[in-house]
Amino acid sequence: MADSSNTERAEVSDLPDALRHALAVTRRGCAELLVEADWVAKLRRSAATAKPLRIKLGLDPTAPDIHLGHTVVLNKLRQLQDLGHTVIFLIGDFTSRIGDPSGRNTTRPPLTIEQIRDNARTYYAQASLVLDPERTEIRYNSEWSEGLGADGMIRLAARYTVARLLEREDFTQRFRAGVPIAMHELLYPLMQGYDSVALRADLELGGTDQKFNLLVGRDLQKEYGQEPQCILTMPLLEGLDGVDKMSKSKGNYIGIQEAPASMYAKLLSISDTLMWRYYELLSFRPLDDIARLKAEVDSGRNPKDAKVQLAREIVTRFHDAAAADAAQADFELRARGGVPDDIAELRLALPAGGMGLAAALKAAALVPSTAEALRMIEQRGVRVDGVVVEDRALKLGAGTRVLQVGKRKFARLTLG
């Protein structure tokens, strides 16, 4: 399978400034650009003919929410869109029924059509927070995939070999380990590759875990007599834990539609080391500015200053500057032990003999269970009206109190 690393740079000394800029935009933050010389040739042709290139990103709506990890590639798509090229946001409503096996060591359970439709309803609305909806072509791969039928699927499958598919690392590992590989999983790379044929893509974007699938698209375009697309892979963003990739299922994510205060607080919670990774993949600031800021931190500036700037940039992007101001004020108030104005209000009937503090914390949704409540009390992580509570057996009587767990969870509980 053809390959070329982005370290094998194309010759740019003779490029006009506009094309040199376009190449620099393409390269920024990417893992690989394959094949760079081909991409430069496409850029030259586009400039000479004033015909935009067709740039594709496909996402399977396997979950209803888009998080910051998804925006790494969406940001790159927007940058290329701003260069004047045609951006195709492809919703994989057909491929979702198969389930992408990339990076999986077991068969992914296919989604139902109803689940896919429910998720797809919100996908583009969220993506429009990054892309310019007026200049984005929205497509669904069921448009051409459903029409293939059995005959078309057989003809498509005839253009690729099992040996080539088994070159995929995850397939190889599963095959050697004796872990079953279902036949429909082998079809997934073919169907994703066929999307590029149907759309006549010049460039396809994806995470580094999608490299094999993107290369299949190149090969299939050759099989169908088309000029092969270039591929651009973007790094996978680590989640808040700094270990696993950002994922809703792992609980280490920041949703792009989260409340500003929650988004801000989560960004302030990441490690000082992870912060620079987030700057690299999420910030729109010039690289020189980021390098200057990092040098200042290395020379003794408080890293929190840099983290605050990053958090404000992200919150402003998905909300607005006023929301970023409010989120920062809320965070600083909580850090000083103050009580925010917008905390949840809860009124409950007072049980005979009073309500145990652990039960009250659970009822106020400040902890998932009474066991967790007791653990937090033992660790001095619970306050009632600003006073740390250490008595696991404490019972609350009639009246209104502010309950606090940790630094950021509050509720106003009225018993009576």
pLDDT tens digit sequence for 363-385: 999 999 999 999 999 988 898 87
The pLDDT tens digits for 136-150 are 999 999 999 999 999
64 lies in the same domain as 203: yes
Could you say which of 317, 335, 353 is where a domain stops? 335
Measured distance CA(58)–CA(71) in Å, rounded: 13
Confidence of residue 77 (pLDDT cuts 50, 70, 90): very high
CB 55 within 8 A of CB 42: no
277 lies in the same domain as 389: no
Residue 54 in tokens:
């067709």
Q: Which residues pair with 233 in a beta bridge?
A: 32, 206
Distances from the Cα of 133 to the Cαs of 88, 324, 329, 386, 394, in angstroms? 11, 24, 32, 47, 55
- Owner of token pair 């094309």: 19
93 lies in the same domain as 174: yes
Confidence (pLDDT) at 5: 42
This model's pTM is above 0.85 = no
Measured distance CA(238)–CA(209) in Å, rounded: 13
Q: Report phi then psi at 395, rounded to 5.
A: -115, 140
Task: Give 407: exposed, middle or buried? Use CB within 10 Å, 0-12, 13-18, 19+.
Answer: middle
Residue 97: pLDDT over 60: yes
Asked, for residue 6, whether it belongs to a domain, the answer is no
Q: Indicate which CATH number applies to the domain containing 215.
A: 3.40.50.620
Q: Indicate which CATH number applies to the domain containing 331.
A: 1.10.240.10
Asked, for residue 365, whether it belongs to a domain, the answer is yes
Could you say which of 314, 335, 356 is where a domain stops? 335
- Owner of token pair 């999986």: 104
286 lies in the same domain as 405: no
Q: Indicate which CATH number applies to the domain containing 398.
A: 3.10.290.10
Confidence (pLDDT) at 65: 77
Asked, for residue 127, whether it belongs to a domain, the answer is yes
329 lies in the same domain as 397: no
Q: Which residues of 101-139 are buried (b: 16+ CB within 10 A; e: fewer)?
A: bbeeeeebeebeeebbeebbeebbebbeebbeeeebeeb
Q: Which pairs with CB-CB distance under 8 Å and at least 24 residues apart come from 143-152?
A: 143/198, 144/194, 144/195, 144/198, 145/94, 145/95, 145/191, 145/194, 145/195, 146/94, 148/194
329 lies in the same domain as 369: no
Q: Is the peptide bond before 35 cis (omega within 30 degrees of 0)?
A: yes
138 lies in the same domain as 172: yes
Residue 290 in tokens:
């980021």
Asked, for residue 60, whether it belongs to a domain, the answer is yes
Mean pLDDT of 228-252: 90
* Torsion, CA 109, CA 113, CA 116, CA 117, rounded to 10: -170
Range of the domain at 383: 344-415
161 lies in the same domain as 116: yes
304 lies in the same domain as 203: no
60 lies in the same domain as 86: yes
- Indicate the range of 111-115, 271-275, 300-304, 325-329 predicted with least confidence: 111-115
* Overall residue count recorded for the chain in this entry: 416
Please tell me the total count of domains within the chain: 3
Asked, for residue 247, whether it belongs to a domain, the answer is no
Q: Which residues of 357-390 are buried (b: 16+ CB within 10 A; e: fewer)?
A: bbbbbbbbebbeebeebbebbeeebbbbeeeebe
212 lies in the same domain as 303: no
Asked, for residue 8, whether it belongs to a domain, the answer is no
Measured distance CA(205)–CA(195) in Å, rounded: 13
Could you say which of 199, 218, 234 is where a domain stops? 234
Confidence of residue 10 (pLDDT cuts 50, 70, 90): low
Mean pLDDT of 31-57: 96
Asked, for residue 26, whether it belongs to a domain, the answer is yes
DSSP class of residue 181?
A: -
Confidence of residue 164 (pLDDT cuts 50, 70, 90): confident
195 lies in the same domain as 138: yes
- Indicate the range of 205-219, 364-378, 396-410 predicted with least confidence: 396-410
Asked, for residue 327, whether it belongs to a domain, the answer is yes
Residue 348 in tokens:
């409950």
